[in-house]
Amino acid sequence: MYAFDYHQPKSVDEAAQMLGAKPEPKLLAGGMSLLPTLKLRLAQYTDLVDLSAIDSIKGIERDGDALVIGAMTRHVEVATSDTVKRAIPALTTLAGGIGDPLVRNRGTMGGSIANADPAADYPSAVLGLGATVITDKRQIAGDDFFKGLFETALEPGEIVMAVRYPVPLQAAYIKYPNPASRFALVGVFVARTAAGVRVAVTGAGPCVFRLTDAEALLAKNFSAAALENFTVKPDGLNADIHATAEYRAHAVAVMLKRAVAAAGGNT
């Protein structure tokens, strides 16, 4: 690990000032991805700005027809929250399946989406529910947030404060996890909302993406039966030591059908 200066601001404004004043700063949320990267010397920063002492960006609340979750809310809090379970139970399933107990007790929702790992779980919920990412500067639609491999729409110095998730009519998240890391080899988030059906896939490509062909089928008939002959092309999907592109394409179709069934689309 390279040397760096450590800071723990008490407010978002203080954190933003530090980011603007330091030569090569990096925000620290849960640290579940950043700290291993630093230990392996794969990245180097002059300053780490730890957000853990900022209470204003923690917590879960129901706000009308939406669920607002603070960026520094830990996975275990989402997984065990009665508020989340009542509003969007698919989110409790998603959060409860992340990593292991250590990761769930330290990792944060905001850190997960800002890192934009192609196999992370939360990006599928942001995209699948049509959520809005709230930063200290603006609001970003979920469809516009994820840009590519570890790439988001966040500007330098911009801080994620919360995510606003619309409460769906039905939703479910099903993933095929890597048995060692619990990252998604393939994960599918399905939601039937007042505005239509959304399907988001993580783990299969360089970045989370929507499956618009499946959305069109499910808009007509929200059931697993509607997907009986549905297939996914392997073009552009990930191929690595864990699975080929063809394997992932098949797994997407399988996880999709299971997700629709889990959401209540059995008929």
Instruction: Give the model confidence (pLDDT) of 136-158 as tens digits.
Output: 999 999 999 999 999 999 999 99
Rounded to an integer, the average pLDDT of 86-98 is: 97
Instruction: Give the model confidence (pLDDT) of 39-74 as tens digits.
Output: 999 999 999 999 999 999 999 999 999 999 999 999
Q: How far is CA 198 from CA 62, 63, 105, 168, 262, in A?
A: 21, 22, 29, 10, 15
Task: Quickly state the pLDDT bin for 162 (edges 50, 70, 90).
Answer: very high
Instruction: Give the model confidence (pLDDT) of 179-235 as tens digits.
Output: 999 999 999 999 999 899 999 999 999 999 999 999 999 999 999 999 999 999 999
Residue with tokens 């603070």: 70
Torsion sign (Cα): 261, 264, 266, 267: negative
Q: What is the 3-state secondary structure (H, E, C) of the chain?
A: CCCCEEECCCCHHHHHHHHHHCCCEEEECCCCCHHHHHHCCCCCCCEEEECCCCHHHCCEEEECCEEEEECCCEHHHHHHCHHHHHHCHHHHHHHHCCCCHHHHHHCEHHHHHHHCCCCCCHHHHHHHCCCEEEECCCEEEHHHHEEECCEECCCCCCCEEEEEEECCCEEEEEEEECCCCCCEEEEEEEEEECCEEEEEEECCCCCCEECHHHHHHHHHCCCHHHHCCCCCCCCCCCCCCCCCHHHHHHHHHHHHHHHHHHCCCCC
Judged against a pLDDT cut of 60, whether residue 26 lies above it is answered with yes
Distance CA 57, CA 110 (A): 9
pLDDT at site 267 = 45
Distance CA 63, CA 207 (A): 29
Could you give the domains of the chain? 5-166 (3.30.465.10), 170-262 (3.30.390.50)
